[in-house]
């Protein structure tokens, strides 16, 4: 019995391999749990309450109102600038009523009144030029061409988004890499146990031949 226990004692290298395997298993499970609570759950809620539709531009306009944004000018330097509000009104295939278009869910939450938030520059004039460029893009390049847009009944059912914040690729990566980490950990543990078992059996067979 003592000999059997001694035979199954792991070497230092095997012990490190087992620890690495268990560490990867734990990391994979914790990653799946964390991403599920913090990222995957809200993403599925967004997709559950939304869908896609065909959109056509009805009107593109700038409001007289300006909104504040924060720009960075260094490690400990921040300032406030302003930008004009651009609204892109569209007609969707799911409703005859006009809807306000937004870049994505994050932009909708940041400023639900406007369709576009430019990268915040120190100069207000530069911000205005960026908004004007976007206005020309929607008027001249897109025009009356239909494009795919997305709606979310949980956020604002009367507004639509140009793209989703959480798409299929992001959801795939949320599952893929933690799962790969978990499986690699399991594989390391299994291979280490199998290798040890084979080594013990080989040693036992070798001893029997010498008897």
Distance (Å, whole) CA 87 – CA 107: 13
Checking if the pLDDT of 36 tops 70, the result is: no
Checking if the pLDDT of 42 tops 70, the result is: no
Checking if the pLDDT of 175 tops 50, the result is: yes
Checking if the pLDDT of 136 tops 50, the result is: yes
In DSSP notation, 48-89 reads HTEEEEEEEEEEEEEEEEEEEEEEEEETTEEEEEEEEEEEEE
Distance (Å, whole) CA 132 – CA 111: 18
136-152 mean pLDDT: 87
Helices (H) and strands (E) in the chain, counts: 6, 5
Write down the pTM of the prediction: 0.59
Going by C-alpha positions, the residue among 54, 49, 132 that lies closest to residue 92 is 54
175-184 mean pLDDT: 86
Confidence of residue 1 (pLDDT cuts 50, 70, 90): very low
């Amino acid at each position: 019995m003592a000999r059997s226990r001694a035979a199954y004692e792991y070497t230092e290298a095997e012990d490190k391999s087992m620890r690495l395997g268990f560490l990867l298993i734990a990391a994979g499970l914790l990653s799946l749990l964390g991403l599920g609570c913090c990222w995957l759950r809200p993403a599925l809620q967004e997709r559950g309450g939304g869908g896609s539709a065909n959109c056509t531009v009805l009107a593109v306009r700038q409001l007289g109102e300006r909104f504040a944004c924060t720009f960075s000018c260094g490690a400990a330097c921040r300032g406030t600038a302003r930008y004009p509000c651009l609204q892109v009104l569209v007609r969707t295939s799911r409703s005859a009523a006009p809807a306000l278009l937004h870049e994505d869910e994050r932009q909708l939450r940041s400023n639900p009144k406007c369709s576009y938030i430019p990268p915040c520059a120190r100069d207000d004039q530069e911000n205005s030029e960026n908004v004007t460029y976007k206005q020309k893009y929607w008027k001249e390049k897109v025009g009356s061409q239909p494009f795919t847009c997305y709606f979310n009944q949980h956020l604002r059912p009367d507004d639509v988004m140009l793209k989703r914040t959480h798409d299929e690729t992001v959801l795939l990566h949320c599952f893929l890499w933690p799962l790969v980490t978990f499986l690699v950990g399991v594989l390391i543990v299994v291979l280490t146990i199998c290798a040890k078992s084979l080594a013990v059996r080989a040693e036992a067979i070798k001893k029997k031949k010498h008897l």
